[in-house]
Amino acid sequence: MFIVRQRYVLGDSAMRRMAHSNVLIVGLGGLGIEIAKNIVLAGIKSLTVLDRRICQIQDLGTQFFIRQEDVDDKKTRAEASVDRLAELNPYVTLKNASIEISQETDLSFLKEYQCVVVTETAHSLLQRIDDYCRQLNPPIQFIAGEVSGVFSYAFCDFGPEFTVVDASGEEPKECFIADITKGNPGIVTSLDNTMHDFQSGDTVTFKEIKGMESLNGTRQKIKVVSPYSFSVCDTTGEEFQPYQTGGIAKQVKVSTVIKYSSLQDQMINPRVPLVDFTKDAVMSHVAFCSLHRFRDQHNRLPKPRCDTDLEGLLQLAEEINEKLKIPVPSIDKDVLRHLADTCAGHFAPLCAAMGGVIGQEVIKAVTGKFTPINQWLYLDASEVLKGLGNVSPEVLEPKGDRYDHLRICIGDEMCLKLADLKLFMVGCGAIGCEMMKNYALLGVCRSPNGKMTITDNDLIEKSNLNRQFLFRPRHIQKPKSTTAAESCKEINPSLNIEAHQHKVHPATEQSTYNDAFFEAQDVVVNALDNVEARRYMDIRCVTNQKALMESGTLGSKGHVQVIIPHLTETYGNQQDPPEQSVPYCTLKSFPATIEHTIPWARDKFESLFSQKPAMLNKFWMVHGSPEKVMEKLKSNSRLEHILMVLKLMKNRPQSWQECVAAARIKFERYYNHKAKQLLSSFPLDSRTKDGAFFWQSPKRPPTPVEFDTNSELHMMFIRSCSRLIADYCGIPYTENDTDKDNIVDLLRDVNVPEFVPSNKKIVTEETENKPETTTEDDITDEDIAKAIRDLKHLQDNGKTSEACLRMIPAEFEKDDDSNGHIDFMTSASNLRATMYSIETADRFKTKRIVGRIVPAIATTTAAVSGLVTIELIKYIQGCVLDDHRNAFLNLALPTVMVSEPAPANKIRIKDEMYFTDWDRWEVHGPAGYKMQDFVQYFKDKYKLTVSLVVQGTKMIYVSMLPGHKKRLKQTMVELIKPADGIRYVDLTIAFEIEDEEEDFDADGDLPAPPIRYFFDV
């Protein structure tokens, strides 16, 4: 449970390898502690930390596990951190190494570790450690990293050769086959013009091909021909018979070997990926190499705004650049100056970002899962320095407090602006916890003028603990928001936080999070996990002209989007691709993949154990006693759901034995009779109207499942289904009752009905939707007569007591393994898969899909939170569009790409008149202001004629409707009818097209920005 969401990302084998790994981290400053936190949450076997530095006051601004008392007690950074790190994950062993590592240290102690991470260490010592790790057999995976001011790097050397078992970590792709040609090479075409999503160089295997059977079971390295076809081997030989039908191509994960060079070699021939298209990554490499050499030569760092030190750094950079295999064309003096000015500080959000990246590299090193960095990664936030201009060195000088590292990076004035900030954050889950940790380190909202408002209506669950690092086991079932606030104040007691437990949605739009609330904020931050909530927050921020910092993660992937009024596009400008819906007939009768059988099982759970019991409860709550219902039926009242309710009551079990019998009958109906009915309606030799075989790919003919008490899968279904039936009927049972032997005994007496073919129509067209439920209008006189008979029968048999009129609907809970919910859905899905010869899924995959669990890992969350916090600081500084960066990252590959946000979307009204999504026109109407005054206002000011005025969904004025002409003489108050105290309303309007040459939509309207109409008194 503790690592459930991470397991969805890494898989079982990687988790097992990680649980046997020992890691050493040298240096527990801002970067080191981020790496340590992330890999402890990930679940390695043991972590040893090594840092003999004494805690200093400035450490409080980057190291979230150091407290003021640790500074006062002169503890080492490792001593202060090790117990708090251990609290993050009880399954990880934490050790504090007492050794001092230096050029003279015997490095043989490193042999007990699979991975060594070194931060805040001189370059010469880094090189010595790397050389030692490489020469061992097997080598130790070596990682170095550093955050110097607003610049950072990561370096990986996993030995001469490193095997990657799964380069991407994605689920293997597969596609159904429509055709395979005989040729050299043979061309495989996917079914129904569906994109196969393979890439050239992928290895695929084949199954279920008819005709060219010799391809089945083989592995083929493919080359993509088009999005719908790819080539395989030479299929011209006699062993390859002509293709007939069917077949599935499935991607095979193949191990790859990556060769690494030593740190010494990489200094002059660096492999540096592109992160930011506006920056030269090799220049960053040159700058860091120069800094390392400067520190080795002078035993200190360059001084900020010191021309002499800058010239020395420039000279070193020129010398280093000359030795590079591929030098930069010219040295960028600004990069060197920015590095020299800030290198004595450590920018906390950059520590978070790079700590997430390096934390993921540690996981790769010990598991072989995902593609490691090969071999450098440079990341900087130098844009935050543009607001400093040519300030004096005093602005950047430390003051002896916890914000010294930040002050060196962004100046004292920006530190004070952050302190005075009024910030609203929605969500206190994984990203929210990381954000708040960053804010605590930065001192955001710490002054009496500042205020951080946070809200989250969720409680803390055990499964949250491996990625929501502000929470501990003692916090389970406590509110996320108040707990996060308390934990953050342990990091920085001066924070001014107000924690809410409300949901931000239309229901709280007038009461709590109204326009006045948003107008009081300086910036809004999303820490959400669903698109719907993001869209709503985007609309609220656009309406109230507030900047929104948007971010999210999905496993190893993450994004950052900066949304700034009148500067950038909004979240709504980027439409997410629509979710692929599965046709009703596929789910109901013709599943082809496990992704079809799992939703079917979830639907069965909801229908059987939640919806139907809830429907019964509602029916009797609405209609009263059975006697009253009988009266209504006799008066020919058509009561919706009456037949289904009475059927539920008639079949309601009265004992545990009857629950077992009901489960056994459902098994027969779902997995035996259903298959027989399909084969009865569509025999194996059936053909469609055009002469093609009915049962051809992707349709798979079913095979009736014969119940077997020796099958663990069959018994899992009976046990879980019996329990759920007993639960909604309120029938008690014991653990002994659910024992296999006892259930088998009860099953001997079950009268299983024989299969009888039905004439019921089976939906076969993919365009047909699920049939609508029966309504009052569908109930016939015959149905009423039957309902009267059934109800009378129930009354005569004593089945209409108060207890019989109530059921207990199940509320799906994915995280309680004892309730049988996931067991039912796993067994129900896999039985259906077995019936259709589909590969089954384990309980874990089923749980992920039915629980709609978003895969999550701490490393991605940390990286994303760091990047979006950097953008927050840029916004407070007033940076221009060119200085902001949206980001997309996939730490599995690894890919980190940042780019300038798109500008605000411009919408043309006519001629050279435009507006953006951020624009809002305001109209102030005094008492007696009429609709004709409103229309005339736009005529006078913009030379536009209003054709439409809408408030929400209410039509206020439509010029083309004759009856609306009289509304022109009515006042706006009469038409809108505002509630007492309402100062304004937001209206949607449109303008008439007066120039026939204007090319707009056929509805004849010109667009307009939103209108805020004020009722001026």
Provide CB contacts within 8 A for 326, sequence distance 6+: 269, 282
Of 585, 659, 721, 879, the catalytic one is: 585
Closest to 701 in 3D by CA, of 675, 739, 681, 727: 675
Cβ atoms 120, 317 nearer than 8 A? no
Distance CA 343, CA 1000 (A): 56
Closest to 468 in 3D by CA, of 153, 869, 854: 854
Closest to 283 in 3D by CA, of 315, 251, 327, 316: 327
Cβ atoms 792, 711 nearer than 8 A? no
Distance CA 983, CA 1017 (A): 9
Closest to 961 in 3D by CA, of 951, 948, 976: 948
Closest to 571 in 3D by CA, of 549, 554, 556: 549
Residue 937's CB is within 10 A of a number of other CB atoms, namely 17
Distance CA 137, CA 125 (A): 21
Cα 879 → chain centroid: 29
Distance CA 584, CA 765 (A): 9
Strand 174-180: give its sheet, edge to edge: 219-221, 203-207, 248-252, 174-180, 187-190, 229-231, 223-226
The 3-state secondary structure of 233-286, one letter per residue: CCCCCCCCCCCCECCEEEEECCCEEEECCCHHHHHHCCCCCCCECCCCHHHHHH
Pairing of strands 115-119, 141-148: parallel
Dihedral (Cα; 552, 554, 557, 558), 10-degree rounding: 0
CA atoms within 13 A on the CB side of 886: 20
Closest to 355 in 3D by CA, of 861, 693, 697: 861
Residue 310's CB is within 10 A of a number of other CB atoms, namely 19
Distance CA 814, CA 366 (A): 30
Q: Is 656 left (phi over 0), alpha (psi -120 to 50) or beta?
A: alpha
Cβ atoms 519, 468 nearer than 8 A? no
For residue 393, say if its preceding peptide bond is cis, omega within 30 degrees of 0: no
> Interhelix angle for 281-298 vs 333-342, to 10°?
50
CA dihedral sign of residues 606, 608, 614, 615: positive
Q: What are phi and psi of 293, to 5 degrees?
A: -70, -40
Provide CB contacts within 8 A for 551, sequence distance 6+: 431, 526, 527, 558, 559, 560, 561, 864, 865, 867, 868
Cα 580 → chain centroid: 17
> Tokens representing 720?
């879980």
Closest to 395 in 3D by CA, of 383, 377, 408: 408
Q: Which amino acid is at 684?
A: L
Cα 898 → chain centroid: 19
> Interhelix angle for 858-877 vs 412-419, to 10°?
110
Residue 343 annotated to the active site: no
H/E stretch holding 425 reads strand 422-426
Cβ atoms 828, 608 nearer than 8 A? no
**Catalytic residue positions?**
585
